[in-house]
Each structure stands twice: as C-alpha cells, then as structure tokens.
Amino acid sequence: MYKNKKVIVVMPAYNAALTLRKTYEEVMSQDIVDLIIVVDDKSVDKTVSIAKTLPKTILHTHETNLGYGANQKSCYKIALNEGGDIIIMVHPDYQYTPKLIPAMASLIGNDLYQCVIGSRILGGYALKGGMPVWKYIANRFLTFSENIMLGAKLSEYHTGYRAFSKKLLKQLPLDSNSNDFVFDNQMVAQILWFGYTVAEISCPTKYFLEASSINLGRSIKYGFGCLFTGLTYRLTKMKLITSKLFPQI
C-alpha cells in the first residue's frame, strides 16, 4: 500500500525465465507492492513454471501468442479487477530497475500525476548505459517528430517502464489499440489526447544478453507505426478524420 492505495505491479512476460525471479525479488523488496500480476504470452521456456512459485503473484496465461500489446491489455484488465489504485508496468527482463517503483508510486499516490514514465533519455546516460547507437538515433528522431505532432515535450515515448492511476486506465480506450509493440506509443498519445500531463523520471539504462529487444525489422515497423499514430492524432485534432484511438471528448 501507498497512502491506503493498493499498488499492483504488472509484468507482461514472454520467455523471461532467466530474469523473472530476479526482477520479482527486487520488486517485492520495495515494500509498497501489494500484488504482482504476470501475464505470459505463450512462452516456450520455463516462465510459467517459475511464475507459479512466486508468492503474492497472480499468473494469467494466453493460450496462443497474442503480442506485446495484447499482453498489456490483459495486465491492466486484471489489475483493475484486483482493485489496483496504482498500477506499474515492469518488464520481467530486468532492463528497468524496480528500485524506482516507490518514486513512481509517490507521484501518483500524492495526486500529482496520473501517469509516470521512466525515461532512459532523461539525464543523458542512455548510450553510456549500453543503448545501441542505432536505437538511440531512432529514439531521438521519433521523439522529436511525435513531440511536434502531439504538441508535447517528452524526452522519449518508447520506454516500457510506466505507472498509471486507476482513474486513467479506466478512461483510456485501450481495446482500440494494436496488439503489437506500437501499443505503447498509442497509449501515451491517448493519455495526451485526454489532456493529462505525463511525468518523467530518469531511469538507468541496462542492456544485456538476457534483456528482451525487438529486431531491426520489427523496429522499423514500430517506427512507422509511431509516426502513423502521431499523424492520426494531429488529423483527428484538426477534425479532418475520426479515429477509435482518439474519441471525441
């Protein structure tokens, strides 16, 4: 609990057997976490068997591989059904340190923000932390383009470390979003669409062999998806088109 608000950590998992337990242990060491929800997207390793051994954990499994976005949809629905007031997504591949959970929860629990993201760019240490140069360049280009199209000033849109209030998650039309990786980007755009401010805190960057990462081909697809999301946002804002992603308020 944080100020009588239930804190739930969700972990969208796929082949995370090597790092799941380590991530879990660090999450639970933060003291304020009441429950962990692991949603497995048809892993082919021992992710499910490991998750079954973790205390204070709800495991939900997909019968087929539905995609990263679909995994998150399940995560948030279960977290809301379990009465979560502050819901924090932590990838079980240990790329993002769970030690930031208390800081993120406090910003939401004190009603300062409805959304907090852990930025790998803020602070200027992404490359020193091991982010590949090509990913850094792509990140900066996409972020610059989206800030223009969405009228925001975020340091990045592509982090997978995020915290949300119950109020915000209930408002977003997440079922209209992609089941693929661009879900992340669409979600941030929707938060801005509904007039919320996205808070950012600096998050150390960690890249290592066991950390999950999409390949070049899927990265290119994701990049075009981000640009299309930004364009859709702008055209909808101008009332030139309508979109299920951005319903009229």
Q: In this predicted model, what pLDDT tens digit does every residue of 158-167 receive, in sequence order? A: 999 999 999 9
pTM of the shown model: 0.94
Helices 133-150 and 183-193, packing angle to 10 deg: 30
Helices 183-193 and 216-237, packing angle to 10 deg: 20
Return the higher-pLDDT residue of 131 and 54.
Answer: 54
Give me the percent of the chain exceeding a pLDDT of 70.
97
Check pLDDT > 70 for residue 214.
no
Q: Which of 43, 37, 50, 48 lies closest to 14 in space, CA to CA?
A: 43
Q: Tell me what the mean pLDDT of segment 203-229 comes to.
A: 80
Phi, psi of 227 (to 5 degrees): -65, -40
For the chain, what are the domain ranges?
A: 7-237
Contact 20, 38 (CB under 8 A): yes
**Residue 204's pLDDT band (cuts 50, 70, 90):** confident
Is the four-CA dihedral 153, 91, 98, 173 of positive or negative sign?
A: positive
Question: What is the Cα–Cα distance from 187 to 78, expressed in whole angstroms?
Answer: 17
Check pLDDT > 70 for residue 208.
no
Across the chain, mean pLDDT equals 94
pLDDT at 210: 56
pLDDT at 126: 84
Contact 74, 177 (CB under 8 A): no
Contact 214, 184 (CB under 8 A): no
Check pLDDT > 60 for residue 117.
yes
Q: Which of 117, 105, 129 lies closest to 156 in space, CA to CA?
A: 117
Name the class of domain 7-237.
Answer: alpha beta
**How many helical (H) and strand (E) elements, i.e. helices and strands, does the chain have?**
8, 7
Is the four-CA dihedral 59, 62, 68, 74 of positive or negative sign?
A: negative
